[in-house]
Amino acid sequence: MKILVAVKPTFDIGQLKFEKDGTPLLDACPVSLGEADRCALEEAMRIKERLGATVAAATVGSSEAHYKAIRDSYAMGADEGYLVKADDPWKLDALSVASAIARVAAATGPYDLVLTGSGAGDTHASVIGPMIAGILGIPLIAGVDRLEVRGPGVVAGTCKLEDGSYTYEARTPAVVTVTSEANAPRIPNLRAILRSKGMQIREMSAEELGVDLRRLEPLSVRKYEIKRKRIIYKAEDQKGAAEASAELLAALRSEGVLS
């Protein structure tokens, strides 16, 4: 089996600080392989250990953090690593990233599975996986917390969505996105870390892949402050209280606070 895992270094948003004017201090924010991407790598490793597979990791971006993301993938047990060079990778638009990954898959495949985390902690939330499936024209199972290989060429994934649990069975090749609840990713030991240092990372350019990398420049990025709505529900008596509660409940529901 051949598995490609698309990985991305993400900002540790728990440690993100802001200037007084609301500008995020990104340079000072630690960056590491996202939790969901690590779960995707872990699923790949489990399949490799149980059934035998070659696992490749791929990322789009030329920052130091992107190279480290591939080295960290090696430390978890990946066999091959591909890095699509791109300056200023944080501004790349999702479709460009997905196209680049799809081209890497076409150039270095064929792959039975393309895995990725179901949502980067910072941006591009949850669309890269579906876009890769759309470009490659293959089935998509999005948001799995359980993945199994049911037989040659057949995989099944269970997803907990808003209204219940969905188990999808698809023929490979397929794209599967993995949630951060799927497993506890292995922590590489020192030997694996030292070994990963010496492994080659295959760099690829957008030109050689035939992909156009486009960037989206924001007009502004600033701290998000939730504005207090300051709506008061008043009641003078029991009847009024019942009415006010009903109104409040309806408002909370329409805000998505209650489901």
Partner 1 sequence: MRVLAYADNRSWAAQLASAADALGGDAAVFVPGRELADDAAKLYSEVFFSGLGPFEPVSYSAAFSEAARSFKPDLALLPCTNKGRSIAGLYSSAAGIRSATDVISLSARAGDSSITVRRLVYGGRAEAEFLMSAPAAICVVQGSYPERGPRGGPGQVHEVPAPDPASSVDFKPKRREGAQPEEAEVVVVAGRGIRSKEDLELVKGLARALGGAWSVTRPLAADQAGPTPGWGSPGWS
Partner 2 sequence: MDFLLSEDERRFQESVSEFAKRHIEPRWIEIDEKGRIPLELIKSMGDQGLFAIPVPDKYGGMGGTVLMAALAIEEIAYHDPAVAVAVYALLNNGWPLALSLFGSEAAKQEILPKVASGDAFFGIGSTEPQGGSDVAGTRTVARRSGNKWVVNGEKTYISGVREIQELPAGGGFFLVSKAESAEYGHRNMVDFALLPKWNGKMRDGWKPTVYDDIGRHGLSTGGFKLEDFEVEDDLRIGDVGKGFYLLMEGFNIARVLVAAATIGSARWALDRGAEWLRSRRLFQGRPLASFEGISFRFSELYAELEAAKYFVYRAAWMIDKTYLENPPRFKPKDLNVPVSLAKMKGPETATRIYEEVLKWLGAYGYTKESAVYRGWLGTFSYTIGAEGTQNIMRYIIARDVIGSEYVSHTG
Q: Is 238 in the site for partner 1 (CB under 8 A)?
A: no
User: Which positions from 56 through 85 interact with partner 1, judged by CB under 8 A?
Assistant: none
Angstrom distance (rounded) from CA 55 to CA 43: 10
Residue 91 or 202 having the CB closest to partner 1: 91
Amino acid identity at 75: A
Cα–Cα dist 58/69, whole Å: 9
Question: How many residues touch partner 1 (CB under 8 A)?
Answer: 59
Binder of partner 1 out of 79, 126, 186, 244 (CB under 8 A)? 126
Interface region with partner 2, contact rule CB under 8 A, candidates 53-61, 67-75, 157-165, 249-257: 67-75
Contacts of 12 (CB under 8 A, 6+ apart): 29, 30, 31, 32, 121
Binding mask 98-137 for partner 2 (x = CB under 8 A): ----------------------------------------
> Is 255 a binder of partner 1 (CB under 8 A)?
yes
Q: Dig out the tokens for 251 from the structure.
A: 């408002």
- Extended beta strands in 124-207, E state: 140-151, 154-161, 164-171, 174-178, 202-204
Q: Interface residues for partner 2 in 165-224 (CB under 8 A)?
A: 184, 187-191, 193-194, 197
CB-CB contact of 55 with 44 (8 Å): yes
The binder of partner 1 chosen from 9, 77, 81, 121 (CB under 8 A): 121
Residue 129 interface partner, choices partner 2, partner 1, none, CB cut-off 5-8 Å depending on type: partner 1
List the one residue out of 35, 36, 53 whose CA is nearest residue 44. Answer: 53
Under the binding rule (CB under 8 A), the answer on residue 75 touching partner 2 is yes
Residue where the block lists tokens 């579906």: 130
For residue 220, what are its two tokens? 């502004």
State the binding partner of 211 from partner 2, partner 1, none, CB within 5 to 8 A by kind. none
Q: Does 220 bind partner 1 (CB under 8 A)?
A: yes
Q: How far apart are CA 18 and CA 22, in angstroms?
A: 5
Taking CB under 8 A as the rule, does residue 145 contact partner 1?
no
Cβ distance to partner 1 smaller for residue 54 or 63: 63
DSSP 3: E
What is 35-84 written as a DSSP string?
A: HHHHHHHHHHHHHHHHH--EEEEEEE--SHHHHHHHHHHHHHT-SEEEEE
Residues that bind partner 1 (CB under 8 A): 11, 13, 16, 18, 22, 24, 93-95, 98, 118, 121-135, 138-143, 159, 161-170, 174, 216, 218-224, 249, 253-258
Residues that bind partner 2 (CB under 8 A): 32, 68, 71-72, 75, 184, 187-191, 193-194, 197
